[in-house]
Structure 1
Amino acid sequence: MSTTLQAPVARGDAKRTRTSAACDAPTPERQVRLLGLDIPEDVAPAAHYGLVTAHGGLLYLSGQLPRVGGRVAVTGRVGEDVRMEQARHAARLCTLRALGALRQTLGSLDHVERVLKLQVFVQCTQDFTRHSEVADAASELLAQVFGSVGLAARTAVGVYQLPQDASVELDLVVAGSTPSQPKKEQHAQHL
């Protein structure tokens, strides 16, 4: 069973219907502008793999590190040399890169139908147990951009090491399509 949260409609405004309230709702791209988010436009794989694999209307994003300008911005082990605020910042940077990859693939974040799965990996000490708090930064950003369809099933785990000593890595699975292509054609182009 799937549940979707919906924003309530103001009761005192008789002229405002549920339909008009939905039309007034900000799109993901409008939300990005309102929030002043700086989504990278040049997201590319760092090695020999695909950035996004599309199949049957689903998009599987490769792991994103907290890169800024080609370098990993937050490195080290959370609970040792990386504080919680830094780890949460790293999760936001990873999420911004994932949004950039989605925008590159779909042409617009408005074509994301639903964020289905978020996995967050935290390079941390053996006794660090606050992985969910780090992952919350990514979940919060996705919800700010996409609203209720950004609330995904989630896994947050601690790991011993991540590529390039990154403190955080995340990946996403989303449902989405471009309006100009039927899903079958989109699938064929990305294989």
Structure 2
Amino acid sequence: MLTGQGTIQKRLEALNITLDSPPKPSGNYAPYTMAGPFLYLSGVTPKVSGLLKYKGKVGQDVSKEEGYQAARQCVLNHLNTMHAVLGSLDRVVSIVKMEGFINAAPDFDQLPYVLNGASDLLVEVFGDRGVHARSAIGVAALPGSAAVEVELIVCFE
């Protein structure tokens, strides 16, 4: 183990984050796959208790600050899945890669700001292990008109 058992749980408590059940897939796909020491997490949208919290185009229907919160919620959903799959978030060695898709208004160009909502939370929770490569991609539409969708690749032990 890289850290003592429960270290990440203590960080979650300090951040006032309570883990919940992982989100259910909204289509015919697996929420994750494992290959060697890697966990590939399918894209998730900013759902809370199964309901989409942030809908619409960022920069038009959703402010960039709300987009930031939407990206953060996506990572919260991923944390739920990671915990369910790995049994403990202390098993995470590193967050390898993030791909973030932002349902952006045509002239909205602050995609990195929005995706920082996801990146910032990963660093808050995992410290240096949460620093990752990423792509912030503006798209014309997302499932259910979600404001943001985030995918992750995680290395674990």
TM-score of the superposition, structure 1-length normalised?
Answer: 0.77
**Is 1:57 the counterpart of 2:57 in the alignment?**
no
Q: How far apart, in 1, do the equivalents of 2:3 and 2:69 lie? A: 32
Could you give the per-residue CA deviations for residues 106-164 of structure 1, whole angstroms, max 9, x where no partner exists?
Answer: 01111111100011110011111000000111110000000001000011010000000
Contact 1:58 1:175 survives alignment (8 Å): yes
Cα distance change of structure 1 residues 132 and 23 upon mapping to structure 2, 3 Å threshold = closer
Q: Which runs of 5+ in 1 are unaligned?
A: 1-21, 178-191
Contact 1:111 1:176 survives alignment (8 Å): yes
Residue 117 of structure 1 aligns with which residue? 97
Please tell me whether Structure 1 or Structure 2 has the larger radius of gyration of its CA atoms. 1
**Is 1:81 the counterpart of 2:81 in the alignment?**
no
Residue 123 of structure 2 aligns with which residue? 143
Task: Tell me the matched-pair count.
Answer: 155
Cα distance change of structure 1 residues 42 and 118 upon mapping to structure 2, 3 Å threshold = closer
CA RMSD for the aligned pairs? 1.5
Flag the structure with more relative contact order, 1 or 2, with Cα contacts below 8 A and sequence separation at least 6.
2
Matched residue type, 1:71: L
Instruction: List structure 1 segments (4+ residues) > 2 angstroms apart after TM superposition.
Output: none
Contact 1:38 1:96 survives alignment (8 Å): no
Residue 156 of structure 2 aligns with which residue? 176
**Is 1:47 the counterpart of 2:27 in the alignment?**
yes
Q: How far apart, in 1, do the equivalents of 2:71 and 2:3 lie? A: 31
Q: How far apart, in 2, do the equivalents of 1:132 and 1:119 lie? A: 11
Residue 188 of structure 1 aligns with which residue? none
Q: Which runs of 5+ in 2 are unaligned?
A: none
**Is 1:163 the counterpart of 2:153 in the alignment?**
no
How far is the alpha carbon of 1:30 from its aligned partner? 1.4
Contact 1:27 1:146 survives alignment (8 Å): no
Identity %: 37
TM-score of the superposition, structure 2-length normalised?
Answer: 0.94
Contact 2:60 2:105 survives alignment (8 Å): yes
Could you give the per-residue CA deviations for residues 32-86 of structure 1, whole angstroms, max 9, x where no partner exists?
Answer: 1111113332422122111110001100000010001111110000111110111
Higher strand share: 2
Contact 2:23 2:50 survives alignment (8 Å): no
Q: SS at the partner of 2:43?
A: coil
Q: How far apart, in 1, do the equivalents of 2:89 and 2:3 lie? A: 17
Contact 2:96 2:154 survives alignment (8 Å): yes
